Structure 1
Amino acid sequence: MKKSFCAGLMLIVCMFIYSCGSEPNQIDLDANRDVVRDFHRIWSDGKVMELEKIISPDFVCHFINEIEWRGIDGAKHSITSHRKIFPDWKEEIVDMVSEGDKVVTRYRSTGTQLGAFEGLDATGIKVTIYETSIYRIADGKIVEQWGFPDALSLKNQLTKK
């Protein structure tokens, strides 16, 4: 009787200890949201050297208009190029949803076109568009992004007379 009581008690203690420990594959939704917030901040401030902290070397970005770039250098180039055209580019997160390894943001992007963009010379027009992006996070870094900018609204604002 004493042996089975001790065995039962040990089993309960082991179950308690195991249930208190964190699972190695447990996803930290707050950390995932923070890394995505940092990515939007870098688009807004242009500090591309900080990308290495939040982007995986295997990063792939897919945009709806068939634009794609890869890796940290691809992200640096994309952000730097875009900010040459829209030097005051800002991204403000409006909505954020996360589940599992995915984070989705809907955000308002603003900027003044001071460089050539898609065949249009600099207009000096300040634009506002809404975008949605889906991010996949692994090991605390963004590994994939699917971007859906409102390209039609952007083009309409830049070509209005």
Structure 2
Amino acid sequence: MASASTPPGTPEANELVVRRFPEEVATEGNIDLIDEICTEDVADHSPFGEQKGREELKEQLRGLRESFSDFSATVEELVTKDDMVAMRVTLRGTHDGPFMGAEPTGKTFEVGNMVFSRIENGMIAERWVQPDVFGMLTQLGIVEAPEM
């Protein structure tokens, strides 16, 4: 969704639409924005499973926000080439709801996340999401790190 001064399909427009996912959907909890910024058949690939379509993606995000009511995703860096945008993102939250079968620990986490998004006609068509799940689960006390 390019602004009036940013023509659609440009690297700048692609970056603007991709930033909206972590900033507005994940952090602000505006999950219905997925209808505006993602294609109807958006594909999302992550360690939490493959999601196909807007409704599956919304359900996954709702679950994440139920597990971490203060969840936030901060964009640290963006790199764009053609229809692909790569982001380095910092994820944060407090474990105050069930997550991956674990009861709330009340602990917080802060981990890195890499997201690659493919843009099609000004919308996110596909995402590859690689958060530091091991670091997250370790910080939350759900798993123990092996001794080195």
Judge same fold: TM > 0.5, yes or no: yes
Confirm or deny that 1:116 pairs with 2:98. yes
1:48–1:66 CA distance, 2 compared to 1 (3 A): closer
Q: Which residue of 2 aligns with 1:29?
A: 11
Deviation at 1:129, TM superposition (A): 0.8
Structure 1, unpaired ranges of 5+: 1-25
Structure 2, unpaired ranges of 5+: 1-7
Deviation at 1:27, TM superposition (A): 3.5
Secondary structure, counterpart of 2:140 in structure 1: helix
Q: Which residue of 1 aligns with 2:35?
A: 52
- Whether the 8 Å contact between 2:89 and 2:114 is mirrored in structure 1 is yes
Q: Percent of pairs identical after alignment?
A: 27
Q: Which residue of 1 aligns with 2:82?
A: 100
Q: Which amino acid aligns with 2:99?
A: F
**Structure (1 or 2) with the greater helix fraction:** 1
Residue of structure 2 aligned with 1:62, choices 41, 45, 51: 45
Secondary structure, counterpart of 2:69 in structure 1: coil
Residue of structure 1 aligned with 2:53, choices 71, 93, 97: 71
- Large movers: runs of 4+ above 6 Å: none
Q: Which residue of 1 aligns with 2:20?
A: 38
Root mean square deviation, CA, Å = 1.6
Q: Deviations over 1:61-87 (max 9, x none)?
A: 011x26110111111111111000001
TM value normalised by structure 2: 0.87
Confirm or deny that 1:156 pairs with 2:142. no
Deviation at 1:119, TM superposition (A): 2.6
Deviation at 1:49, TM superposition (A): 1.4
- Whether the 8 Å contact between 2:118 and 2:127 is mirrored in structure 1 is yes
- Whether the 8 Å contact between 2:9 and 2:121 is mirrored in structure 1 is no
Q: Which residue of 2 aligns with 1:145?
A: 127
TM value normalised by structure 1: 0.80
1:113–1:49 CA distance, 2 compared to 1 (3 A): same
Q: Which amino acid aligns with 1:142?
A: I
Q: How many residues align?
A: 135
Q: Which amino acid aligns with 1:51?
A: I
Deviation at 1:120, TM superposition (A): 1.7
Deviation at 1:117, TM superposition (A): 1.3
